[in-house]
A = this chain, B = another copy of it.
């Protein structure tokens, strides 16, 4: 298995990025019913090589420019192996003490490496961090903590969310609406705040709508500021949002799932600007840090509210140790009860790769994006439609009119992806079709980017 994985990763660039299977093709190659007798392990491996791998979209491919390429690294892969081998549960401190304590330490290491506010540290008065399965779950946890706080805990009893109002821009990730919906905040109670020409939240618009909601007797309770929107990598102005949030007792969640990890590189620390007054924050080390999914880092400055929302124990059963922070029961910091020993991935990556590996990688992706932007800007058929300080370039074909540009851009995404030599995702910005060129794979070199750009020029 080790050989298979090493060979897969070391030759991944020789494959097409995507598969040409159609729905049902993979299944049709496998037996419809389970075997009654055990098979040799080699037979399983053969099917992995012959059927499964050819049916994958290769997220670690150097020419994968879709979404945000999912990173992995050998230390993290081996750590996941160890997680599976140990097979322990970290739902409470007692259920495997080292599982909890290594995680807490890793969250404090990451607070330091990312330069996050000290009040997120586990050693602070009321803050702390936890590894969540995904940013979606971190967002939901944040919403639940905010819901609990704004209702003084009453929501746990009456479930009444009817007056609670949440705020984000149209550029916020889909998990925001999903998390709010799950928590009983319907779309009628979600305000889509206007954004500026850079797709960042307009704080005057936020303030106006919050005040209007309060006048109507509604209760603003949660706002999401995104650091790196999925569509265009826009940054909401967190410090200004925080001022409104503080004034109106709104929980401020900063969703930096996309770009928060860039702060590992000191010159990019600005990606986390404005966090001083945030109530919660999340980011994803499977982006840029080689710590394979699942691993989302979630911090809060208010663990009392998080525990209030997610602890299922009545007051009299809460342990003094857990409340004081001496022992943490992470089951009360997350949606599910059970949890794997995920912090090993971070620990292994930080210790054996070290920040000396992450920083040049991040810089190189940013540099390649700027070089690419210069090439795109020099081609009059194309336009760049959003700021691109990091590793995401949003471009489109101009066409004869905006509508014509949409048609051409959609066709370009489709034709480029159809070659299977690259993968891009399409998005819409202010209603206009856009091709996202997202450079985030560990193996991507300038030659790859250049040839992908060549493909786009030819397609144009």
Instruction: Tell me the complex Cα distance, A71–B89, Å.
Output: 11
Which among A140, A159, A348 has the highest number of chain B CB atoms within 10 Å?
A159
Which B residues are CB-close (under 8 A) to A338?
A: 133-136, 293-294
Which B residues are CB-close (under 8 A) to A347?
A: 44
Q: Does A26 contact B (CB under 8 A)?
A: yes
Report A42-79 CB contacts with B as 1/0, cut-off 8 Å: 01100010011111111110000001001110011110
Which B residues are CB-close (under 8 A) to A78?
A: 1
A38-B356, A183-B182, A357-B38 are contacts. A55–B109 as well, Cβ < 8 Å?
A: no
A181-197 interface with B by 8 A CB criterion: 181-189
A352 near B38: Cβ-Cβ < 8 Å:
yes
Which B residues are CB-close (under 8 A) to A136?
A: 335-338
A48-B82, A337-B136, A352-B41 are contacts. A58–B23 as well, Cβ < 8 Å?
A: no
Contact of A85 among B5, B33, B98 (CB under 8 A): B5
B27 near A101: Cβ-Cβ < 8 Å:
yes
B84 near A186: Cβ-Cβ < 8 Å:
no
Which B residues are CB-close (under 8 A) to A67?
A: 89, 95
Q: How many residues from A make CB contacts under 8 Å with B?
A: 123
Which among A87, A135, A186 has the highest number of chain B CB atoms within 10 Å?
A87
A323-371 interface with B by 8 A CB criterion: 326-327, 335-338, 340, 344, 347-348, 350-357
Which B residues are CB-close (under 8 A) to A451?
A: none
Q: Does A97 contact B (CB under 8 A)?
A: yes
Instruction: Tell me the complex Cα distance, A87–B442, Å.
Output: 13
A56-B96, A161-B161 are contacts. A187–B156 as well, Cβ < 8 Å?
A: yes
Q: Does A315 contact B (CB under 8 A)?
A: no
Instruction: Tell me the complex Cα distance, A183–B83, Å.
Output: 31
Closest 5 CB pairs of A and B: A184-B184, A55-B98, A159-B186, A5-B85, A38-B354
